[in-house]
A and B are shown apart, each in its own frame.
Chain A
């Protein structure tokens, strides 16, 4: 349940942001991370940005997701 994924913030409109992960765009709320800036990578959980993360972390996490998907499909 506490799963979270990293994504890049590509648009901000007041407390809503559009994030992108491997070409897929989603709307997430910035209510829990108001300091988010355009271009930041954020950790997303249940539709909310939870923390700003660095690019290296993002690459590592994506590797894990790819492996998990390979196992689960």
Chain B
């Protein structure tokens, strides 16, 4: 079916549902695609699309950034990181500012690039900033296994990987967030499988649809989600079946499980969520910089006016934050939601400021 067909289906299903609906996407790439294509504007008036905590950079806690900066300023240290972490504000600095002060911070495209940097600089300590959801975590795990098989003693990770299903549960369990259905993150599902979202219908009686990233795929997924709500069904559908398998990628899951175990994790602006993150298993402690060379940082300070936490939970829209588009802009971001191109505030600023 084409775009017009999906829109027609969306309107028909929405007309049959006599109440306002909040559908949430939990993937920064979806957020950007939805804004770019203007999908929010064409939805029926009773259907609201809300962005959840789908941007890994945005949910990375201030304390983690403070720690990364502290390591970066240590002598004989190279920090290897994905580029989108550079400008994220910590309590009073950023990696980008640390770099300007002389810290050796290198942008990598793959965790394996960080392993290569360690191999090429045997006398220096290389710390990879291991952030990201289930899509990215197996690549960090594979890099750690690679470093081990190469016998590298100077490769480390500062790990803050996070898991999507537990934060979805936390949102659904909280009293102030109402979600009627989820657009599920396609590339997270590539790893964990569509079946990993089975808790939605089972425990919460709501539907979720695994969606691709083109406007047509997002509309198709929304049509499916609304149809299921109209028919009072609660199910998980895979509308990205050309890429996502029911069981996910078993090899990636197995490598992830070999290196990491589940732990509690701090989400920026949201707080600590039980069993929502990953830490290296005891067997890999020698690669965990926090265990090998713990570092103390001051308790993190937050800008009291910044409401990123509420934006991340879908509790408020960016324009309800007093800083948005006034002092917080893409070139001078105050909060992480404005820093990352996948951040909700950045998407609003760019596409939706009318």
Q: Which A positions have Cβ atoms within 8 angstroms of B?
A: 1-4, 29, 31-35, 43, 45-48, 50-51, 53-54, 56-57, 60-61, 63-64, 68, 71
Contacts and interface: CB of A to CB of B under 8 A. Distances in A.
Contacts of A47: 109-113, 139
Contact of A2 (B136, B242, B243): B136
A4 B132 CA distance: 13
Contacts, number: 103
A71 B36 contact: yes
Nearest to A32: B252
A35 to B, nearest CB: 8
B142 A29 contact: yes
B28 A50 contact: no
26 contacts: A1-B57, A1-B133, A1-B340, A1-B342, A2-B132, A2-B136, A2-B185, A4-B135, A4-B187, A29-B146, A31-B145, A32-B139, A33-B249, A34-B251, A43-B187, A43-B190, A46-B132, A48-B110, A48-B112, A50-B190, A50-B191, A51-B244, A54-B242, A56-B242, A57-B243, A64-B213
B228 interface: no
A33 B255 CA distance: 11
Interface centre among A45, A46, A53 (most CB of B within 10 A): A46
Given A50-B249, A51-B245, A54-B242, 6 more contacts: A2-B28, A2-B133, A45-B190, A46-B139, A51-B243, A64-B33
Contacts of B212: 60
A68 B110 CA distance: 22
Interface of B: 27-29, 33, 36, 55-57, 82, 84, 109-113, 131-133, 135-136, 138-139, 142, 145-146, 185, 187-188, 190-191, 212-214, 242-245, 249, 251-252, 255, 340, 342
A8 B142 CA distance: 22
Contacts of A63: 214
B38 to A, nearest CB: 12
A45 to B, nearest CB: 6
Contacts of A53: 242-243
A43 B244 CA distance: 11
Contacts of B245: 51
B27 A2 contact: yes
B136 A1 contact: yes
B136 A45 contact: yes
Contacts of B146: 29, 31
B191 A1 contact: no
Contact of A46 (B29, B55, B136): B136
Given A48-B142, A53-B243, A64-B214, A3 B251 contact: no
Nearest to B248: A51
Contacts of B139: 32, 45-48
A19 to B, nearest CB: 13
Contacts of A54: 242
A1 B109 contact: no
A31 B255 contact: yes
Nearest to A43: B243
Given A1-B55, A51-B190, A32 B255 contact: yes
Nearest to A54: B242
Contacts of B145: 31
